[in-house]
Structure 1
Amino acid sequence: MRVIPWLLCCITSLLRTVNANVEKTIFVAPSPVTIPDVHPGLDGLRLDTLSPSQKTVLETQLPVKFPIDTAPRGVESWYILQGLGEGRRYEVRICWPATQPTDFWLETYPITEVFDTPDLISSLAAYSEQRQELGLESTRYLRENLAPNSQSLLFLRIQAAASFYTTNRTLMEHPPAVDADIILDPYLLNILPRSLGPTAIYISAVAVGAWFLSGAIYRWLVQLAQEAPKPHAD
């Protein structure tokens, strides 16, 4: 019967305190598109890039603002998702501390849709110009791998709006940037995110172990019942 305390200790050791919020979007990778060999190209946008084979996690700080009539979803940031597998399901998650209340919206767009939509291309251009003014560089992987070839990629737009209230006027006028992790997670067999694979294995192992353990406990109880002395009739 020492198995039960050991199993409880294992389960307890895997528990963690929830200290972050999560928002995500799920999408299916589109057909490959040909990247033209022109300058400036996509690398000239100086956007950070996520790829399932190279860089799946981006640690960053996202600027935020309180919603206003002209920007009901706060500040917009743009990224490129590249090296995707056509027809494969993915999800992009953004995780941020619960101590920084923020509303996030994540949306993915094909390249042609962004370039053909005035509002989207204007937003992308404004973000790119801002990064250039700040002297920010895109990731090396983007510059090295966006050669004139055919590949599946998408634009990712993240909108961030501050979601708190304070009597501090400075914070209300200039909310601090939010520490966030942006994660690109491919699905296994288009069913389960790859990051949840170990969790699924663990749950399956616990379920199988619990099945055998319950059978052992049942047989032990039956044996006790059979060995218990029966009362004698007077």
Structure 2
Amino acid sequence: MYYSSLSILGILIPLLAAVGQANVEKTIFLAPPAATVPSDEPDLDDLGLERLSPHNTVVRTRLNASFPTTEAPDGTDSWFFLENLRPGQRYEVRVCWLATQPTDFTLTTYPLTNTIEDPALLSSLSVFSTARLASLDSRLQANAIPRRASTHDAGKTLDPAPTTDSVLFLRVRAAADYFSADDALMREVPPVAVDLILDPFLLNVFPRSLVPTAGWMIVVAVVALVLARWIVGELGRVVEDAKRNHVVQASKKGK
């Protein structure tokens, strides 16, 4: 019975894991200690970056991608801002995309000071910020992206601007991973539709969004155990009946 249960779970768990990993890339990190966020103009909002926070955990957007080159082996950079984090809390950021747009993603988080002090990172951030601001409505550029009301708060309060807070920059690199007979697709890679998701870990061990999946896995395990016990019991009963019939027939022949 024990081995039967393990064999059933051994089949189910990899299948569930395979489904969960399809078209998903992620990075796991610990939120840094709170730091003073510069408030002088131009402030961080003026960079035009989309924000992820415990109040707004999902950003649905389109990311530019490109084929790998010697200068950019990981594709095109996009930048985001993670704010209002809980210091010492473990989080993961996932990017989910459609299978119809084959893309390799690389996600990396950087502390505020490291990003500003590193010339390569600051240059990449500046290039992305400039291009993004140029694509926005000019009326928004004084404060590039208005803060959105929290989707989880019944009062619809705005996500607070951090002053002294645990914050990180997130760089997402997107490299096209396909070959097509369509010359247009090979010359210019279309933007990739993605969902970026910020997910805190419960007790710094387990992603909160996977709790329902874990619940279903426990249900499946219990059902598999009960089913395996019933099957073993039925097989044992059949074997005992066969032995009993064999003994009866042998005794009759002996007479």
Superposed pair shares fold, TM > 0.5: yes
Shift of 1:34: 1.6
Instruction: Name the structure 1 match of 2:147.
Output: 140
Gaps of 5+ in 1: 1-10
1:1-234 → structure 2 map (5 Å cutoff): 21-52=23-54, 54-135=55-136, 137-141=144-148, 145-148=160-163, 150-226=164-240, 229=245, 230-233=248-251, 234=253
Q: Deviations over 1:89-136 (max 9, x none)?
A: 111111111211111111000000001101111111111111111116
Offset at 1:50? Answer: 0.7
> Does the C-alpha gap of structure 1 residues 72 and 224 become closer, same or farther in structure 2, counting only changes over 3 Å?
closer
Residues 152-161 or 214-223, more deviating:
214-223
CA RMSD of aligned residues (A): 2.6
1:213/1:140 Cα in 2 relative to 1: closer, same or farther (>3 Å)? same
3-state SS, counterpart of residue 106 of structure 2: strand
In the TM superposition, what is the alpha-carbon distance from 1:214 to its structure 2 partner?
Answer: 2.9
Does the 8 Å contact 2:83/2:162 carry over to 1? no
Q: Relative to 1, partners in 2 of residues 1:219 and 1:58: Cα closer, same or farther, differing over 3 Å?
A: same
Structure 1's 102 and 220: CA in aligned 2 closer, same or farther, altered over 3 A?
closer
Q: What CA distance in whole angstroms lies between the structure 2 residues aligned with 1:144 and 1:199? A: 29
User: For the structure 1 residues 156 and 223, does the alpha-carbon distance in structure 2 shift closer, same or farther, using more than 3 Å as the test?
Assistant: same
* Distance in 1 of aligned mates of 2:123 and 2:62: 22
Q: Partner letter of residue 56 of structure 1?
A: T
Note the alpha carbon deviations across 1:170-215, whole angstroms, 9 max, x for none: 2222111111111111111111111111111111122223323333
Q: How many residues align?
A: 219
Question: Percent same amino acid among aligned pairs?
Answer: 45
Which runs of no fewer than 5 residues in structure 2 stay unpaired? Answer: 1-11, 138-143, 150-157
Tell me the amino acid that sits aligned with residue 73 of structure 1: D
Distance 1:144 1:59, change over 3 A: closer
Distance between the aligned counterparts of 1:83 and 1:106, measured in 2? Answer: 19
Deviation at 1:29, TM superposition (A): 0.8
Letter aligned with residue 174 of structure 1: E
- Equivalent residues of 1:49, 1:139 under 8 A apart: no
1:35 maps to amino acid: V
Does the 8 A contact of 2:52 with 2:83 survive in 1? yes
Question: Letter of the aligned partner of 1:161 in structure 2?
Answer: A
- Which moves more between the two structures, 176-185 or 207-216? 207-216
SS in 2 for 1:70: coil
Please give the secondary structure, in 1, of the residue aligned with 2:23.
Answer: strand
Distance 1:93 1:64 in 2: 17
Q: Structure 1 CA distance, aligned partners of 2:162 and 2:85?
A: 15
The structure with the largest helix share of the pair is 2
**TM-score normalised to structure 1 length:** 0.83
TM-score by length of 2: 0.77
